[in-house]
């Protein structure tokens, strides 16, 4: 099976929008800055919430120690773990990326208000290379660069959304621990964190998906 025709169709479908947006460098920079601000604010909020959860966990540990209840240590330990994850979200994501993809760092495609070129050229190459080539053939190199700029913004937005849900999943561990959400158990927040981590590192996730498809004969 070959998906080149599908790629061509998608290129022709979205090319008018890309061509219309060509020349809007200032707008692209503003969007990238907005995405970067979103990442920063989400990280700060996650750190503050994680710090509160961590302190609450330490307090619960002291209460459990004073009451000599060994079984009561489970909840505060989960609190401490959840708080640590939220305070060190990027380090946690790096560990996830190393474990799942074998790469030292997750691909943060927009950082400090601009695109990370190494992320685009390495992790995103399998995802954007074919599309860029076809856009160049259809409308030139300049439009292809504008197309990649838009792809970068979209991926950056997905990373912010994934980061938010990752923090929601981490906080969900405490909800299960204190009995507020026992129905689904720890599986729901863990799955939320795992799925969110895949979305956050969507460049490596997409690259892995493309490699898997090529392995079974579906070539881009």
Residue 109: CB atoms within 10 A of its CB come to 27
Q: pLDDT of 152-198, one tens digit each?
A: 788 888 899 999 999 999 999 999 988 776 666 888 999 999 999 99
Confidence of residue 26 (pLDDT cuts 50, 70, 90): low
Q: pLDDT of 133-150, one tens digit each?
A: 665 666 556 655 666 667
Tell me if the pTM is above 0.85. no
Query: Is 160:39 a contact under the CB 8 Å cutoff?
Result: yes
Place of tokens 């898997």: 212
The mean per-residue pLDDT over the stretch 116-126 comes to: 61
Contacts with 100 (C-beta within 8 Å, 6 or more apart), sequence order? 197, 198
């Amino acid at each position: 099976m070959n998906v080149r025709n599908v790629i061509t169709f998608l290129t022709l479908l979205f090319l008018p929008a890309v061509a219309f947006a060509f020349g809007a460098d200032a707008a692209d920079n503003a969007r990238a800055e907005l995405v970067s601000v979103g990442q920063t604010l989400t990280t700060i909020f996650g750190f503050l919430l994680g710090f509160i959860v961590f302190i609450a966990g330490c307090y619960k540990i002291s209460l459990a120690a004073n009451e000599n209840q060994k079984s009561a240590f489970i909840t505060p330990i989960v609190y401490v773990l959840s708080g640590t994850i939220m305070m060190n979200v990027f380090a946690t994501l790096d560990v996830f990326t190393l474990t799942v993809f074998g790469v030292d760092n997750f691909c943060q495609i927009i950082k400090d208000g601009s695109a990370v070129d190494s992320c685009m050229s390495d992790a995103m190459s399998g995802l954007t290379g074919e599309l860029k080539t076809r856009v160049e053939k259809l409308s030139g190199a300049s439009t292809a660069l504008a197309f990649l700029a838009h792809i970068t913004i979209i991926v950056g937005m997905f990373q912010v959304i994934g980061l938010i849900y990752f923090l929601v999943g981490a906080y969900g561990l405490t909800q299960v621990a204190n009995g507020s959400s026992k129905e689904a158990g720890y599986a729901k927040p863990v799955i939320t964190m795992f799925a969110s981590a895949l979305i956050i590192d969507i460049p490596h996730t997409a690259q892995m998906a493309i490699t898997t498809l090529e392995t079974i004969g579906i070539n881009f």
